[in-house]
Amino acid sequence: MLTLEDVNLKDLHIRIQRLKNGVSSQKPLWRHNAKLLRSSLWGRQDAGHWRFTGRQGPLKKRQIQTLFATYAKKAGIKGRSIHSLRHSIAVHLLEAGQGIANTTQTVRVQP
């Protein structure tokens, strides 16, 4: 449900609007990911409101899980999920000396 306005490529952060407690937050965007997002936006033809779209609007949670499972299988990765990615990101932030608890501050982290 990420919109184009939620991604700030200049300041390297993403605004997450729908968290568990109904609050918004800003999360860091790594430079490498910003570069990939910028190039995908450049070649985008539909110019819709949503950042990641399917045939009928924004990608749904189940669609993303299915895509992840498909690509993980093709890559020979077993026993991983979208949720495991969340934990991996948290580990990388901790290793970089950054906090992970409910912060709204923009953090710039090099990959």
Largest CA distance in the chain: 41
**Domain span including residue 30:** 4-95
Quick one: angle between helices 82-95 and 61-75, nearest 10?
80
Reported as a pLDDT band with limits 50, 70 and 90, residue 102 is very low
Residue 8 domain-assigned?
yes
110 within some domain: no
Q: Does residue 105 lie within any of the structural domains? A: no
The CB density around residue 29, as the number of other CB atoms within 10 Å, is 20
70: in domain: yes
Report if residue 107 sits inside a domain.
no
Q: Between 18 and 73, name the one with better pLDDT.
A: 73
Tell me if 52 is assigned to some domain. Answer: yes
Amino acid letter, residue 36: L
Residue tagged 């906090």 (tokens):
99
20 by Cβ neighbours in 10 Å (0-12 / 13-18 / 19+) ranks as: exposed
Q: Is residue 111 part of a domain?
A: no
Q: For the chain, what is the domain count?
A: 1
- Averaged pLDDT score across all residues of the chain: 77
